């Protein structure tokens, strides 16, 4: 019984470590055939790996099927390595490690996706450093223009 639990734990922990953030993204049609047909429509998208600087993007276009692609953000980070002696009581004996920080500011990014019917969606956005929220614009090859919020 104990070995079965241990085996389950050994198999599940690496999968949990690989899990990353997903964030909802909305595309609001502003101009074009979709906005003309239904100006209240909101296209729900999912951006995967939002704790990183790029990931998969997926959504469904009305009457055009599933769309998949990529989002990417130019998010600068600083990496510093720590090595040496420490003279404090809390960290006696020295300190070795690595620290990664996101540089504060506003960063730019892009989305690109291809739908089942061949429609291509492309856009740009700005995002706050260290956040998974931003705003931008996108357009598709059918003449639609979207407001992008996430």
Question: Would you state the structure tokens that stand for residue 82, as one six-digit string?
Answer: 């720590």
pTM for this entry: 0.68
Burial 3-39 (b: 16+ CB within 10 A, else e): eeeeeeeeeeeeeeeeeeeebebebbbeeeebbeeee
Q: What are phi and psi of 48, to 5 degrees?
A: -95, 155
- Measured distance CA(126)–CA(128) in Å, rounded: 7
Per-residue pLDDT of the chain (150 residues; tens, 9 = 90+): 444 443 333 333 333 344 458 999 999 999 999 999 999 999 999 999 988 889 999 999 998 899 999 999 987 666 666 665 555 666 565 556 666 665 557 899 999 999 999 999 999 999 887 777 899 999 999 999 999 999
Q: What are phi and psi of 102, to 5 degrees?
A: -85, 135
């Amino acid at each position: 019984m104990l070995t079965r639990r241990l085996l389950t734990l050994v198999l599940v922990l690496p999968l949990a470590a690989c899990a990353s953030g997903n964030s909802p993204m909305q595309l609001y049609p502003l101009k074009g055939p979709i906005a003309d047909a239904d100006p209240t429509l909101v296209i729900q998208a999912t951006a995967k790996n939002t704790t990183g600087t790029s990931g998969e993007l997926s959504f469904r276009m009305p009457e055009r099927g599933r769309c998949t692609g990529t989002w990417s953000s130019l998010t600068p980070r600083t990496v510093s390595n720590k090595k040496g002696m420490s003279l404090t009581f809390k960290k006696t004996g020295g300190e070795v490690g690595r620290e990664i920080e996101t540089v504060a500011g506003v960063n730019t990014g892009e989305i690109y996706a291809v739908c089942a019917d061949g429609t291509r969606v492309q856009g740009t956005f700005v995002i706050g450093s260290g956040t998974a929220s931003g705003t931008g614009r996108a357009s598709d090859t059918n003449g639609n223009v979207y407001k992008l919020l996430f």
